[in-house]
Amino acid sequence: MKPDYAAWKHVFKLDPDKIIDDAALEQVCRSGTDAVIVGGSSGVTYDNTADLLSRLRRHDVVCALELSDADAAVPGFDLYFIPVVLNTPDGDWITGLHQKALRQYGDALDWERVVPEGYVILNPRSMAARVSGAQAPADARDLRAYGLLADRLFRMPVFYVEYSGAWGDMAWVREAKQALASARLFYGGGIRTPEQAREAMDAADTIVVGNLIYENLPLALATVPEVRRYS
């Protein structure tokens, strides 16, 4: 059965290019998070993605691949999120790379498991921004307009606000969310405490916790709603 990503409140994001041991991975998978997304901005290959998936499959957790490189298109994930970077002038990150990937793999895709994401990168110093050439929105109205672009014009089911390692402006996130009619707003970036997780949850539909897993696993686990409820 296709997972219902529209019901997710909390997900962990694992980078195939970063090291996580089996004990830590088990804690992530058993934390009560709604899903684990696999993805990264650099160093992601078919082999390290396939290896991480095989380790995740030892546990009962929904696994999604955020696919930014067609060479890392590993079969066997429950869902495939396809990011379209809305705030870059580089057309490769909007349609170019996607068209090339579909030329090669389009006939083999299970389209029921493919989820397009309207992606806006707000941290200009992040690897994601450097790789994609993303230009950060000037203000909250800019971000809101990108939300309208994703939701109303392109009819994308996910609008992903990515601060990529930096804590974002939740007033901006709330304003962007209010503009959405049907897209789900994913927020990722700089969540390092349960309090920040709660604040982000109040502003967004789904929060994504990534770097904290590698920096401070106990704090990362404490961002899961089920863990916090009983702490």
Domains in the chain, CATH or no CATH each: 7-229 (3.20.20.390)
Q: What is the DSSP letter of 127?
A: H
| Nearest Cα to Cα of residue 120 among 149, 161, 154 | 161
Distance CA 29, CA 35 (A): 8
Each residue of 9-67: pLDDT tens digit?
A: 999 999 999 999 999 999 999 999 999 999 987 788 999 999 999 999 999 999 999 98
- DSSP secondary structure string, 90-127? -GGGTTHHHHHHHHHHGGG--GGGEEEEEEEE--TTSH
Place of tokens 């060479």: 71
Please, what's the largest Cα pairwise distance for the chain? Answer: 49
Distance CA 166, CA 174 (A): 17
Q: Which helix (H) or strand (E) holds 197?
A: helix 194-203
pLDDT at res. 191: 95
Residue 187 neighbours by CB under 8 Å, 6+ apart: 161, 163, 168, 173, 200, 203, 204, 206, 207, 208
Which residue numbers in the chain have pLDDT < 50? 227, 230-231
β pairing state of 63-66 and 79-85: parallel
Distance CA 109, CA 8 (A): 23
Distance CA 8, CA 64 (A): 12
